[in-house]
Amino acid sequence: MCGIVGYIGSKDAYPILIKGLKRLEYRGYDSAGVALLNGDTAIYKKKGKVSELEDYVRGKETKCSIGIGHTRWATHGEPSDLNAHPHQSEKGLFTIIHNGIIENYSILKKTLMDQGMTFYSDTDTEVLANLIEFIYTSEDVSVEVAVSLALQKVEGAYGLVVISREDPNLMIAARRSSPLVIGLGSNEYFIASDATPIVEYTDRVIYLNNDDIALIRRDELVLKNLVSESTQVNIKTLDMGISEMEKQGYEHFMLKEIFEQPRSIMDTFRGRIMSETNEIRLGGLLDVKDQLVNAKRIVVIACGTSWHAGLVGEYLIEDLARIPVEVEYASEFRYRHPMIGPDDVVLAISQSGETADTLAAIQLAKDAGALVIGICNVAGSSISRETHAGVYTHAGIEIGVASTKAFTAQVTVLTMMAIMIGKEKGLLSEGRFSQLLKELNDVPSQIEKILEQNEEFKRIAEIIKDATNALYLGRGVSFPVALEGALKLKEISYIHAEGYPAAEMKHGPIALIDEKMPVVFIATRDGSYEKIVSNIQEVKARNGVVIAIVTEGDTTIRDMADHVIEIPESDESLVSLTAVVPLQLIAYHIALMRGCDVDQPRNLAKSVTVE
Ligand code: G6P
């Protein structure tokens, strides 16, 4: 949440910062700003997107080789020029960009105001800038010591970068709970909240750990902890290409990412499904496989779309591997005194690997003695580092704020896990096991076929686009698909949509149905097919507009639904991987038709690093 970028070296900093902010804009986009240190500090900041900042700065003096930039998702204080980062301390000695929340900011602010300090913004970040300056001037310490003393007084989360005209060749970065990565160039350093702005300059990076403080000069990087003891520098190599971060001819990242799914799913199972030896091999789980297979209970913790993937996992693991599964919102789990212990296995699912609630829930589960396994997309992310073991989804970088290919990659991993455990426990015959592997192998080509119907999805989008509400219904493993379809529509087109188990419709949502209410059914041929056919009839009897996703060749539903989308026949366990694709594309087209910002929907952010 919020994007941070910084540069110190011999190049011109401003273009690096702007380019970095554009790459980071998916993390937050309500205002943006830069601070350029060249003797004195020039600060330019603007409400709105990075392009608006760029227009504002055009023609102004930007020359400098040390600078910081920020793109914001508001927590304290509405989006405005004033509340945008960077923030400067009262006398202008310190300039700071910050992600996260300073929880004790009001106490700190009051103390500083009592000392006569003045505040101009509503942010917690300005409090931190003033706190550093207050300590620096009143205690007569170095810039470095002032920053670390201030951070010792802070409660909450931060990823921050500080520059100071008092020590103009120094950049200080510090992290607690909010991620920061430092890129190592030659006599230059890059800093960012994720690696996307760094990758085109260097593949050598350091991920800061909690309570690390990095003191960065052009020719030197020193890592310390909060009490100024040196800590170890652990350099990693990035495995990421720049082209992945570009739209590659697609109009939007979301569209590109939807169309990438045949490849991203294949990348996720490649090398893990061994058809020759009839085996599934998840390298990251080798050390914990026995514990996983013999788990008495699995608890999934996740947020948003990842939570929906977790629900699919529940159906699959209970069905194929016969282990009881509970799926929890990380934000609820962490605060409700959950029953969790050493006999439990926790699956933490997260695209970004940085979601604050999921991270906190992981910590709680670890403290209670549970084995915690991560399913993450971003290599090197906090969750991938905090979990005992894990499996990466190889979806590639996902930039569209509404998650698409990460969902299908997560479901692919969960499917492999369920099949693997089922086989290990002797619950799946050789025949059933190979059939599932074959069917999983077929999913990418099935999605290719679905993508070919894009024009048809546009036609259906046209029908829904003016609705004010929509209902998505499914049964079994298609229920989480219904939730995900409804979420996509809400997120990017701002149409109110709800996902429901189809049979539950009778217990409430049926009251909403009239000729203006589009009802999207995921009604493929499976064990509950006859039941969902009845549910469709119930909607038709009340004049609802039925759009049904059906198995290829289904004539029964074709005769009763208003609009039908056919998807290739697949094993019941795998249908979520294909059925979700039309829903993603329909939401995409509706959002476009309504003039919404598809890749950066209002109020949302890709990576939610605050509670
Ligand atoms: C945000 C994003 C969603 C995402 C959720 C969980 O709300 O907008 O797309 O599903 O966070 O994120 P995670 O990175 O943990 O999967």
Mind listing the pLDDT tens digit for each residue in 174-189? 999 888 999 999 999 9
Which pLDDT band, with edges at 50, 70 and 90, does 9 fall under?
very high
- Output the pLDDT for position 84: 94
For ligand 1, mutation pick of 73, 303, 354, 492 (most atoms within 8 Å of CB): 303
Decide: 314 and 325 in contact? Cβ < 8 Å. Answer: yes
Please tell me if the CB atom of residue 358 comes closer than 6 angstroms to any atom of ligand 1. yes
User: Would you list the DSSP string of 54-78?
Assistant: HHHHTTS----SEEEEEEE--SSS-
Distance (Å) of CA 557 to CA 221, 472, 509, 561, 565: 65, 16, 21, 6, 10
pLDDT tops 80 at residue 611: no
- SS3 for 518-565 is EEEEECCCCCCHHHHHHHHHHHHCCCCEEEEEEECCCCHHHHHCCEEE
303 CB less than 6 Å from ligand 1?
Answer: yes
- Could you tell me if the CB of 382 is within 6 A of ligand 1? no
- Asked if residue 260 has pLDDT above 90, the reply is yes
What does R_g of the chain's alpha carbons equal in angstroms?
A: 25
Q: How much distance in Å is there from the Cα of 418 to the middle of ligand 1?
A: 23
Is the CB of 606 within 6 Å of ligand 1? yes
The average confidence (pLDDT) of the chain is: 94
Model confidence pLDDT, tens digit, residues 355-413: 989 999 999 999 999 999 999 999 888 999 999 999 999 999 999 999 999 999 999 99
Which helix (H) or strand (E) element contains residue 341?
A: none
Task: State the pLDDT confidence band at 278, using cuts at 50, 70 and 90.
Answer: confident
User: Quick count: other Cβ atoms within 10 Å of Cβ 115?
Assistant: 10
Report DSSP state, residue 473: E
* Cβ of 65 below 6 Å from ligand 1: no
Distance 306 CA to ligand 1 centre (A): 7
pLDDT tens string 55-81: 999 999 999 999 999 998 887 788 899
Of the residues 45, 47, 488, 606, which is catalytic? 606
Closest C-alpha residue for ligand 1 atom 2: 606
What three-state secondary structure class fits 438?
A: helix
Q: Residue 208 has what pLDDT?
A: 94
Tokens 């990576």 correspond to what residue?
A: 607
> In the prediction, which pLDDT does 293 show?
96
- Dihedral angle sign, alpha carbons of residues 38, 43, 49, 55: negative
Q: What is the pLDDT of residue 169?
A: 96
Q: Of all protein residues, whose CA lies closest to atom 4 belonging to ligand 1?
A: 304
Going by alpha carbons, the residue nearest to atom 1 of ligand 1 is 606
Ligand 1 centroid, distance to 466 Cα (angstroms): 27
Cβ(565)–Cβ(546) below 8 Å? no
- Ligand 1 neighbour 351 (Cβ under 6 A): yes
The pTM for the full model equals 0.88
Any ligand 1 atom below 6 A from CB of 573: no
Residue 274: the pLDDT is 86
The CB density around residue 538, as the number of other CB atoms within 10 Å, is: 16
Query: What pLDDT, on the 0 to 100 scale, is given for residue 286?
Result: 93
472 neighbors 497 (Cβ within 8 angstroms):
yes
Q: Whose CA is nearest to atom 5 of ligand 1?
A: 304
pLDDT for 610 beyond 80: no
Report the pLDDT value the prediction gives residue 266, as an integer from 0 to 100.
Answer: 95
- Residue in 2, 303, 376, 596 annotated catalytic: 2
For ligand 1, say whether the CB of 403 is within 6 Å of any of its atoms: yes
Please write the tens of the pLDDT for every residue from 325-363: 999 999 999 889 899 999 999 999 999 999 989 999 999
> Is 1's C-beta closer than 6 angstroms to any atom of ligand 1?
no
pLDDT at 606: 79
Residue 306 CB–ligand 1 contact under 6 Å: yes
Q: Give tens-digit pLDDT for 447-482.
A: 999 999 999 999 999 999 999 999 999 999 999 999
- Is any atom of ligand 1 closer than 6 Å to the C-beta of 393? no
Nearest ligand 1 atom to alpha carbon 352: 14
348 CB near ligand 1 (under 6 Å): no
pLDDT band at 246 (very low <50, low <70, confident <90, very high): confident
What value does the mean pLDDT take over residues 296-309? 97
Could you tell me the distance, in angstroms and rounded to a whole number, from the CA of residue 432 to the centre of ligand 1?
34
pLDDT one-digit tens code per residue, 129-139: 999 999 999 99
The fraction of the chain above a pLDDT of 90, given in percent, is 84
Q: How far is the CA of 381 from the centre of ligand 1 (A)?
A: 14
Q: How confident is the model at residue 242 (pLDDT cuts 50, 70, 90)?
A: confident
How many angstroms does the Cα of residue 584 sit away from the middle of ligand 1? 15
Please indicate whether residue 608, judged by its CB atom, sits closer than 6 Å to ligand 1.
yes
**Band (587; pLDDT cuts 50, 70, 90):** very high
Across 39-123, where does the E strand assignment appear? 40-47, 66-72, 87-88, 94-99
Residue 109 clears pLDDT 90, i.e. is over it: yes
In the reported structure, the alpha carbon of residue 301 is separated from the centroid of ligand 1 by a whole-number distance in angstroms of 12
Q: Is 606 a catalytic residue?
A: yes
**590 C-alpha to ligand 1 centroid (Å):** 21
Q: What does the block give as tokens for 540?
A: 């038709």
Shortest-distance atom of ligand 1 to CA 402: 9
Mutate to test the pocket of ligand 1, among 194, 253, 306 (most ligand atoms within 8 A of CB): 306
Report CA(561)–ligand 1 centroid distance (Å).
33
Long-range contacts of 224-229 (CB under 8 A, 24+ apart): 224/148, 226/148, 226/151, 226/152, 227/148, 227/152, 228/144, 228/145, 228/148
Q: Which two tokens stand for residue 174?
A: 């510090």
Tokens linked to 261: 């799914």
| Å from CA of 374 to ligand 1 middle | 15
Q: Is 405 in the pocket of ligand 1 (CB under 6 A)?
A: no
- For atom 15 of ligand 1, which residue has the closest CA? 350
Kindly give the residue spans of alpha helices, DSSP state H, lying in 195-260. Answer: 253-259
Active site residue 109: no
608 CA → ligand 1 middle, Å: 7
Tokens 């229920």 correspond to 479
pLDDT band for 494, please (50, 70, 90 cuts): very high
361-369: long-range contacts (C-beta < 8 A, 24 or more apart)?
361/301, 361/328, 361/330, 361/331, 361/333, 361/334, 362/301, 362/386, 362/387, 364/333, 364/334, 364/338, 364/340, 365/299, 365/301, 365/340, 368/340, 368/341, 368/342, 368/344, 369/341, 369/342
Tell me: the pLDDT tens digits for 18-57? 999 999 988 888 899 999 999 899 999 999 999 999 999 9
Mutate to test the pocket of ligand 1, among 387, 607, 609 (most ligand atoms within 8 A of CB): 607
Predicted confidence at residue 211, as pLDDT, reads 93
The pLDDT value given to residue 591 = 97
How far is residue 243's CA from residue 263's CA, in Å, rounded to a whole number? 15
Which one-letter DSSP state was computed for residue 283? G
Of 261, 578, 589, nearest to 457 by C-alpha is 589
- Amino acid 603: pLDDT: 85
